[in-house]
Structure 1
């Protein structure tokens, strides 16, 4: 996962290229999400934001999240109702998320064969995919090592 400053530069470039306003609030919400590899829920964002901006309210956060989703800068983790930064917004439609159930790490992968298989199956059934969410829950490599070490003692 790229560092926060790289993600911010990428987001600024994407917004500029799309003629989209990357306002200070939108930027700060994106920055907060980028700082948490396990994602943040909307109300966690609100708590963080309200400590910096007393006027921050739920609509402020939800509008910023809607913008970031539209721009492909974040993904919504459906199973956790949380948001995570997208390191490659050009692939915003064809991705899968691996979520560690122990440490919460979220990693984005791009298995194009899975996407093609799903699109083919949908097309065969006369269905048009508008949005897809594939979330894989398990243990990341680091947590597997810790788990293995703990059980071997």
Structure 2
């Protein structure tokens, strides 16, 4: 199970976003929150979408679509790639999960009720990913884009390196 800790930046007094949340991954609590948000938004969280969400939430590292498909096939022998991708697309569109483009994998979102852009720290040793909950990073990138006359439509920031657990001094 991934233990996602808040970035040290989030503890800075100037940091306003999400600083009040603890980020120890609770898969069942996350799924309950997504179900609640879906109900509030009037969304249809189908059994398949729920199952894919549960698999992503329970993963001990970012989940790849074909790994999710293999897990679904264990229960439902007829699961097909388009089915998984449609469920992932829905969950992404609603902001319930994030896609890590550089490794083509998915992770649950720390704040599924809030629309936000967040950078990720991705460990190249264990493949763990940590969501950095400090909106100043996204705001800085957006401000720089505006200053250059660039109209950003999406933002993905992924920093690769070695996590604290894998770093051997």
Structure 1 length normalisation: TM-score? 0.89
User: 2:61 matched to 1:61?
Assistant: no
Segments ≥4 residues shifted beyond 4 Å: none
1:4-62 CA-partner distances (Å, limit 9, x unpaired): 11111111011111111111110110111111142111111111101111221011101
Tell me, in whole angstroms, the C-alpha distance in 1 between the residues paired with 2:79 and 2:47. 12
Deviation of 1:87 after TM superposition, in Å, equals 1.6
Number of equivalences: 146
1:70-114 CA-partner distances (Å, limit 9, x unpaired): 111111110110111112124543211111111111110123222
Bigger Cα displacement from structure 2, 20-29 vs 126-135: 126-135
Across the aligned residues of Structure 1 and Structure 2, the Cα RMSD in angstroms comes to 1.4
- Which structure has greater helix proportion? 1
Where in structure 2 are there 5+ consecutive unaligned residues?
A: 1-23
SS of corresponding position for 2:165: helix
User: What is the CA–CA distance in structure 1 between the aligned matches of 2:163 and 2:57, rounded to whole Å?
Assistant: 19
Which residue in 1 is equivalent to 2:67? 44
Structure whose alpha-carbon radius of gyration is higher: 1
Ranked by relative contact order (alpha carbons within 8 Å, sequence separation 6 or more), the top structure is 2
